[in-house]
Amino acid sequence: MRLVQKFLALFFLLFLASALTAQSAPSQADQIAQLQQQVADAKGSADNAWMLVSSALVLLMTGPGLALFYGGLVRKKNVLATMMQSFAMMALITVLWAIVVYSLCFASGSGFIGGIGHAFLRGVSAQPDPDYASTIPQQTFMIYQLMFAIITPALISGAFAERMKFSAMVLFMGLWSLLVYAPMAHMVWGKGGILNASLGGRFPTLDFAGGTVVHITSGVSALVCATYLGRRIGYPKEPMMPHSVVLSFIGACLLWVGWFGFNAGSALSAGALATSAFVATHFAAATAAIGWAGAEWIRNGKPSALGAISGCVAGLVAITPASGFVGPIPALLIGLIAGVGCYLMVARVKAALGYDDSLDAFGVHGVGGTIGALLTGVFATKLINPIFKDAQGNALPLGMIDGNFHQIPNQVVGVAIAMVLATVGTYIILRVVDFAIGVRVSAEQEVQGLDLTQHGEEGYYWEVSLP
Amino acid sequence: MTKLEAVIQPSKFEDVKDALLEIGVEGMTVTEVRGHGRQKGHTEFYRGREYTVDVLPKVKIEAVLPDRLVDSAIQAITNAARTGKIGDGKIFLSRIDDAIRIRNDERGETAL
């Protein structure tokens, strides 16, 4: 009986509702507008979902990805200190980002640096910023970009691993984020930036996901750090083998996965461009692993696990600027060139020059980033991403294979600016930090290890342990 | 009483241990060690850098034996651990003055 009553009530309500809508029938235009809004909302939600996942994937690259990759490569006494250098960025840069760094990167400003319009995240709300990403909340764009700002300085830490004071590292990284990262990100990606390709910069540099902004700046800064701090005690006479290639292996595999967020996420939407970047990223990682390990196989007679994972990272670095502009076959080629090129740099050239870039931050990120940025000028095509348009909205050629021979010089300008900014900025910051608190630990602390002397703990507490 | 120290290839440890128990050895102490004799080391490559690893992983077995067991123990170890290649390891023997069982103060061979 109660059931029947319920049904009756339901029918009555439905009848009432349809009667009401019939009375106030909206005009066709209103209906269309409403539908359009619903479609836009649905696309916005889809894009936003992918961008939030991508943000998390990029954070995964720093911790645990990079922390494990670098942590495994150092000696046992420095494993925690090395992991902390990455993890500290996840906390430190986040705070600076909220205060002012996001604003310096992405608020309107000059051609070289953003203003303070978004300081303390003022005006960064659920509303999209159409200049950057018209379908997702600016807050999503902000948190996504933060993950890039976190990993970039963390990459540098590979160069001064096993010998830099933790306090000096924190101060250095904070200043670096303000003085090197913010201007470079603004120039390439910010409104009014002189290298910005999608918003009409003076020298439009194609950098889809950060070949110049992330990898060249960090890689070149790493080289400056390695030479400024000097070699580790005992380098290159004493053996300094990675204490656990197993940790590095897990880290590299996490980097590979996280890089999908880094590159495919840089489409800032969930459509076909994201897929294209995802595919290019994966293909380049594969051939780069083959390239590096293959080069080792030929030279040393054995392909090493460390070689294969180092190669994959080099390929991921190189495809970063190109990922949203090239097809899968050029991606295979870019990866292969980067894998072999970075191997030669790390195994041959570094030994010849004698600098101690402990974990090859320059050899992988500086060299791989440069290879990638230049090859983007060769292989970028309007078929993948019609980013350049004429006044009528027709797609213009991008790279050399499209017949645009002016793009390579523009890429060179972008690379050169990144290198000069990174070199000068890093050197000045190192001098200031050295003067203020000293950059390097004492010889005694270095021998004892940074875990114990900088953090008062040990990575592995075993009752019996061999050195 | 005689202390026997045998440094052997890690891969031969199970065989040697079983052979010793077979002839009536009551107990032993085992450590993972590194070292080299005439064998010297091998080279490893990490990112193109070549490292010579000249102390290699070995297993060291220590056992204090009543003198009557010493010859058969040596026989057991050499039989079980020998491959005939360089790097098979060594056995060292030394005299032991006394032994004390902590549980009940037994001394000498009865403490073994």
Burial class (CB in 10 A: 0-12, 13-18, 19+), B76: buried
> Do strands B89-95 and B2-8 pair parallel, antiparallel, or not at all (unpaired)?
antiparallel
Q: A193-212, pLDDT tens digit by residue?
A: 999 988 888 899 999 999 99
Q: How many helices (H) and strands (E) does chain B have?
A: 2, 6
Mean pLDDT of A143-166: 97
Q: What is the pLDDT of residue A463?
A: 55
Q: B24-75, pLDDT tens digit by residue?
A: 998 899 999 998 887 777 888 888 888 888 888 899 999 999 999 999 999 9
As a whole number of angstroms, the distance between CA A217 and CA A228 comes to: 16
DSSP string of A340-388, one letter each residue = HHHHHIIIIIHHHH----TT-HIIIIIHHHHHHHHHHHHH--TTT----
A466: pLDDT confidence band, cut at 50, 70 and 90? very low
Mean pLDDT of A258-277: 97
Cα end-to-end distance, chain B, whole Å: 9
Q: What is the pTM of this model?
A: 0.86
Asked if residues A41 and A414 have their Cβ atoms less than 8 Å apart, the reply is: no
Instruction: Quote the DSSP letter at residue A180.
Output: I
Look up the CATH number of the domain holding residue B61. Answer: 3.30.70.120
Domain made up of A44-455: CATH architecture: Orthogonal Bundle (1.10)
A354: left (phi over 0), alpha (psi -120 to 50) or beta: left
Q: What is the pLDDT of residue A225?
A: 97
User: CB-based contacts of A401: which residues, under 8 Å, 6+ apart?
Assistant: A330, A378, A379, A380, A381
Mean pLDDT of A56-76: 97
> Does pLDDT of A26 surpass 80?
no
Contact call for A241 and B44, based on CB within 8 A: yes
> Does pLDDT of A373 surpass 50?
yes
Question: Smallest Cβ distance to A346: which of B34, B44, B47?
Answer: B47
Residue A236, number of CB atoms within 10 A of its CB: 13
Q: What is the pLDDT of residue A16?
A: 63
Mean pLDDT of A177-202: 93
Q: What is the pLDDT of residue A374?
A: 96
Residues of chain B found within 8 Å of residue A306, distances taken between Cβ atoms? 46-47
Q: What is the pLDDT of residue A213?
A: 94
Contact call for A343 and B44, based on CB within 8 A: no
A21: pLDDT confidence band, cut at 50, 70 and 90? low
* Rg, C-alpha atoms of chain B: 17
Contact call for A241 and B34, based on CB within 8 A: no
Comparing A7-11, A62-66, A157-161, A411-415, which segment has the lowest mean pLDDT? A7-11
Asked if residues A277 and A208 have their Cβ atoms less than 8 Å apart, the reply is: yes
User: CB-based contacts of A353: which residues, under 8 Å, 6+ apart?
Assistant: none
Comparing A24-28, A184-188, A208-212, B32-36, which segment has the lowest mean pLDDT? A24-28
> Do strands B89-95 and B42-46 pair parallel, antiparallel, or not at all (unpaired)?
unpaired
Q: What is the pLDDT of residue A201?
A: 85
Residue type at position A393: G
Cα end-to-end distance, chain A, whole Å: 82
Asked if residues A313 and A207 have their Cβ atoms less than 8 Å apart, the reply is: no
Sheet holding B2-8, edge to edge: B29-35, B56-65, B2-8, B89-95
Cα-to-chain-centroid distance, residue A46: 22
Q: What is the pLDDT of residue A467?
A: 43
Closest Cα of chain B to A300: distance in Å? 8
Give how many domains chain B has, as a whole number.
1
Residues of chain B found within 8 Å of residue A299, distances taken between Cβ atoms? 48
Residue type at position A322: A
Q: What is the pLDDT of residue A2?
A: 67
Stated as kind and residue range, the H or E segment containing A249 is: helix A245-263
Q: For tokens 């990029």, what's the residue?
A: A58
Residues of chain B found within 8 Å of residue A302, distances taken between Cβ atoms? 45
Rounded to the nearest 10°, the torsion over CA A217, A267, A124, A257 is -70
SS in 3 state form for B67-79?
Answer: HHHHHHHHHHHHH
Q: What is the pLDDT of residue A237?
A: 84
Closest Cα of chain A to B36: distance in Å? 15
- How large a percentage of chain A has pLDDT more than 90? 86
Mean pLDDT of A21-33: 78
Strand partners for B89: B8
> Does pLDDT of A17 surpass 70?
no
As a whole number of angstroms, the distance between CA B96 and CA A91 comes to: 61
Asked if residues A58 and A258 have their Cβ atoms less than 8 Å apart, the reply is: yes
Mean pLDDT of A38-59: 96
Tallying the residues shown for chain B, one arrives at: 112
Structural domain boundaries enclosing B32: 2-111
Mean pLDDT of A108-112: 93
Residues of chain A found within 8 Å of residue B48, distances taken between Cβ atoms? 296, 299, 343, 346-348, 350-351
Asked if residues B1 and B64 have their Cβ atoms less than 8 Å apart, the reply is: yes
> Does pLDDT of B94 surpass 80?
yes
Closest Cα of chain B to A443: distance in Å? 24
Closest Cα of chain B to A307: distance in Å? 6
Asked if residues A255 and A69 have their Cβ atoms less than 8 Å apart, the reply is: yes
Contact call for B45 and A296, based on CB within 8 A: yes
Comparing A353-357, A426-430, A447-451, which segment has the lowest mean pLDDT? A353-357
As a whole number of angstroms, the distance between CA A213 and CA A196 comes to: 11
Residues of chain A found within 8 Å of residue B34, distances taken between Cβ atoms? 466
Asked if residues A206 and A398 have their Cβ atoms less than 8 Å apart, the reply is: yes
Asked if residues A416 and A217 have their Cβ atoms less than 8 Å apart, the reply is: no
Residue type at position A398: L
Q: What is the pLDDT of residue A433?
A: 98
Q: What is the pLDDT of residue A462?
A: 61
Q: What is the pLDDT of residue B25?
A: 92
> Do strands B56-65 and B2-8 pair parallel, antiparallel, or not at all (unpaired)?
antiparallel
> Does pLDDT of B82 surpass 50?
yes
Segment of A32-41, A422-431, B23-32, B84-93 carrying the highest mean pLDDT: A422-431
Strand partners for A57: none
Q: What is the mean pLDDT of chain A?
A: 93
